[in-house]
Amino acid sequence: MDILVPYDSRKTILSSLSAFDIAKLDLALGHILDKTESRTYLNPVRDIIWNTSEMSDLIIEGMRLILCGNDVPLLRRRLHDTQQYIKAYGHERRLQIYLIGVFPFRRDDKNIHDRMLSFSISKVPCNDRISKDKQELNAKLRVLQNSSFSPKAPFLLSFGTTVMERIGRGSSTWHLEPDIPDKTIDLWVYVPSYHDRFIGEIVLPPSVIPGLFGFAYRKTWILQLLIAYSKIAKNKIGLHASYLNLSGLQDSHDTWIEGTLYFSFSPSLFIREFPL
């Protein structure tokens, strides 16, 4: 079979591969993709999300997917400048990507709420997690209905991640999602506690700082961690963030999001409001 010939088998092959695998295949075969195929298949969303159709529908309804970390720009670079990316990082470089999901409150739209809470990054969502999220959303809606309080933060998603019994009830955590389309990405999904959901706070423990700020692979990462905390204390550090949608990555400053998210660096008490 000649993959250079544009017929149904070619489409089937490309549809079954991640975007990064297609970029490497295109490079190896001397750039066989036409402009339409490049636009369709060389899209970072195909490296992270299985159900892109449902994702697109929910984004129209107000869901926002935020990718954070210094490795986020590499998601696009490795697809469109593959040769230079491989030369710089090799084939085994694992990208550290941090995902936050939010949606605005709609007091009387249960169907949309249920669909957003059921949206999963993995192929098989955890029903216990979805049930727990629905309970927490309903609890927050009851608070809003019985008061004049208007939430400043959107509702934080947890994407149907597995419920971990060892994690305390009141603790937020970052969950490493093992089942995404591209196997060279470590995708860390933020799973908020009820308290952090209520106030819109993203807790960043020391364990995520090296990957988030791009020095996880440096031999001097401990020194870099201390430097990072020093910059955080002086408010001299930026957090790269982009929105993920069906067309790919979009700069966070180009898209409006309802509410404010706060990033808390534990165990210190530094809280920084990054522009998202």
Q: How far is CA 104 from CA 9, 98, 116, 117, in A?
A: 42, 20, 11, 12
**pTM score, two decimals?**
0.86
- Residue 215 binned pLDDT confidence (cut-offs 50, 70, 90): confident
Helix axes 72-80, 82-89, angle to 10 degrees: 120
Residue range 76-89: mean pLDDT, rounded: 95
Structure confidence by residue, pLDDT tens digits, 136-183: 888 887 877 776 655 566 889 999 998 765 444 568 899 999 999 999
| Local structure of 259: helix, strand or coil | coil
- Residue 98 binned pLDDT confidence (cut-offs 50, 70, 90): very high
Domain ranges of the chain: 1-42, 51-272
132, 93 in Cβ contact below 8 A? Answer: no
- pLDDT at residue 191 is higher than 80: yes
- Report the pLDDT value the prediction gives residue 154, as an integer from 0 to 100: 80
Q: Which of 53-67, 88-102, 225-239, 242-256 has the lowest mean pLDDT?
A: 225-239
